[in-house]
Amino acid sequence: MRDDHITLRQLRAFAALTETRSFTLAGERLGLTQSGISRAVGELEAAVEGPLFDRRSDGVVPNALGEALGSDIDAVLQAVRRLTERANARLRASPGVLRVATVTSVSARLLPAWIQRFRAFYPDVEVSLLEGAEDEIATFVRDGVADLALSGMGGEGLSATPLYEDAFFAAFALDHPFARRSAVSVRDLADEPFIMSTSGCEPLILDLFAAAGCTPRIAYRVRDTETLLEMAWQGVGVTLAPELCFRPYFDGLRKPLDPPAWRTVYALTQSHDDGGRVAAFLEMRPAKPGQGLAGYGLKVIGT
C-alpha cells in the first residue's frame, strides 16, 4: 500500500458512503456526482489494495477490510476537523483587548505562561486582567466588564467550559499530629479549629464536609489565600485549599485528602461572538508541564 495515494477526498467519500449506504446520497452529501463518489472510493480501494464495500440489495456496506479501516478513517477526519477549527479560530482572532477575570490562584499560577503563549501567536491582542472573588468575576462577565472568567465555580446564565480538575489539600503546622499521615479525611478536620476561605471556595468546602456527614468548626474567616495558608502553617488552625492556591515547591506542609476531592476550573463566557479572541485564548491554555504546569498535578479536561 502507498499512503501517498490516499487523499482527504477519498476518505470523505468512504465516510459518506458508509453512513448513507448509497452512492447517490453520498454524492449529494459531499456535492459530488455518483460517479465522483465511485471514482474516489475506487482510488482508495486501489491504494489499500483491496475492495472496501459489498454491494447488496439493501445498499452498499463496508466489508471486513472496510470495517477494519473505518475507525482509523474516522479518526483522521476528526483530526482534520479539529485542525480546521483551530486554524479558523486563529484567523478570526481580531486585534483588540481580551479582558480576563480570574481568582488569584489562577492568575498567579496559570496565567503567566498562558499569556506568554497567547501573545506569541496573537501579538496584536492585548490581555487585560481583572482579579476578584469567585462571585465577583462571574458578575464581571455578565455585566460585560470581562470577556472571560477563569473560575472554580459555574456562573448562572453563563456558558461554563471545564478546563482543569484541581485537587483539594489540607494544610496545617509541621508539628501537627496529622503531619505523620500520608493523607487525611475531611472528617479528621471536623474537630480542629478551621480557617475558612472567603474568596470563593467556601461553598465547595462546606459541600465536602456535608458529604462526610460533619461540619467544620470555623474559627477564622480569611479572604487572602497567602494569609490563609500562613495561618495554618503557623498552627492557628487547619484549612483546605485547592492545589493552585499553593506556591510550587513551597516550604509548608500539605496532605492530600482521602478520599480525594477536586474543584473544577471553568472558563465562563457569554454566548456572543467576541471576534474569536476568547476561542483563541482558550486554545493556548497550558496542558502539560512544559507549557506552565510544572509542579502541579492538575487534571486537564478536554485534550
DSSP letter for each residue of 14-37? HHHHHHHS-HHHHHHHHT--HHHH
User: What's the confidence (pLDDT) of residue 288?
Assistant: 64
Q: Map 74-133 to HEC letters.
A: HHHHHHHHHHHHHHHHHHHCCCEEEEEEECHHHHHHCHHHHHHHHHHHCCCEEEEEEECC
The average pLDDT across 106-125 equals 87
How far apart CA 234 and CA 172 sit, in angstroms, is: 8
User: What's the confidence (pLDDT) of residue 135?
Assistant: 75
Label the pairing between strands 217-222 and 193-197.
parallel
Of 292 and 148, the one with more pLDDT: 148
Residue 58 confidence (pLDDT) above 60:
yes
| 8 Å CB contact between 165 and 298 | yes
Residue 39 confidence (pLDDT) above 70:
yes
DSSP secondary structure letter of residue 171: E
Least confident of 171-180, 258-267, 294-303: 294-303
| 8 Å CB contact between 197 and 242 | no
pLDDT level of residue 20 (50, 70, 90 thresholds): very high
| 8 Å CB contact between 79 and 62 | no
88-97, 265-274, 290-299 — which one is most confidently predicted on average?
Answer: 265-274
Distances (CA, A) of 129 to 29, 108, 140: 45, 11, 11
Task: Please give the mean pLDDT across all residues of the chain.
Answer: 86
pLDDT level of residue 96 (50, 70, 90 thresholds): confident
User: What's the confidence (pLDDT) of residue 104?
Assistant: 82
How far apart CA 36 and CA 27 sit, in angstroms, is: 7
User: What's the confidence (pLDDT) of residue 101?
Assistant: 93
| Cell numbers given for 207 | 459541600
Distances (CA, A) of 83 to 77, 78, 165, 240, 286: 10, 9, 25, 40, 18
Q: What domains appear along the chain, each with residue ranges and CATH number? A: 3-92 (1.10.10.10), 96-163+264-300 (3.40.190.10), 165-262 (3.40.190.10)
Residue 146 burial (10 A CB sphere; 0-12, 13-18, 19+): buried
User: What's the confidence (pLDDT) of residue 299?
Assistant: 84
Percentage of the chain beyond pLDDT 70 is 88
Coil vs helix vs strand at 147: coil
| Cell numbers given for 188 | 479528621
